[in-house]
């Protein structure tokens, strides 16, 4: 299942924005209020979503100025990747968040809306990052 936000504009160049989102210490600014106990270093991010559990992510791939890919660390209910895609837009950039998840139909039915809300919220917060 592929869940995507719309592309949103950011006033930084793709190089500048890539520099920001390549460092996981900057990602907490994109997370929802329900994310607590956030810990981050350059390559790793972990947090607890109130009422849903904890998750740990690590950067699995950085493609200069266009992609930062995160994968879960440890036990998760389904495998997934979180992609932060960056595209040039004049002197600025456009950013899109994508979750590519492998889930059974029952989990997909329950998870689709919360995951869509997550990528949409991250996109919304990107405008001011």
CATH number at residue 117: 3.30.530.20
Where on the phi/psi map is residue 109: left (φ > 0), alpha (ψ -120 to 50), or beta? alpha
Contact 95, 126 (CB under 8 A): yes
| pLDDT confidence of residue 77 | 82
How many domains are contained in the chain?
Answer: 1
Per the model's pLDDT, the better-predicted residue between 35 and 5 turns out to be 5
Dihedral of CA atoms 7, 32, 46, 104 in degrees, nearest 10, equals: -70
Contact 24, 59 (CB under 8 A): yes
The tens digit of pLDDT for each residue in 8-25 reads: 999 999 999 999 999 999
* Whole-number Å distance between alpha carbons of 46 and 17: 21
**Range in 16-20, 47-51, 106-110 the model is least confident about:** 47-51
For 86, the domain range is 2-126
Percent of the chain exceeding pLDDT 70 equals 98
């Amino acid at each position: 299942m592929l869940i995507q936000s719309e592309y949103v504009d950011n006033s930084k160049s793709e190089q500048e924005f890539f520099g920001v989102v390549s460092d996981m210490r900057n990602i907490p600014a994109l997370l929802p209020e329900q994310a607590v106990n956030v810990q981050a270093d350059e390559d790793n991010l972990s947090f607890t979503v109130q009422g849903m559990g904890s998750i740990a992510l690590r950067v699995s791939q950085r493609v200069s100025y266009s992609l930062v890919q995160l994968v879960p660390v440890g036990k998760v209910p389904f495998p997934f990747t979180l992609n932060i895609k960056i595209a040039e837009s004049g002197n600025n950039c456009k950013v899109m968040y994508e979750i590519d998840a492998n889930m059974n139909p029952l989990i997909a039915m329950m998870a689709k809306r919360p995951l869509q809300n997550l990528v949409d919220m991250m996109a919304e917060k990107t405008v001011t990052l």
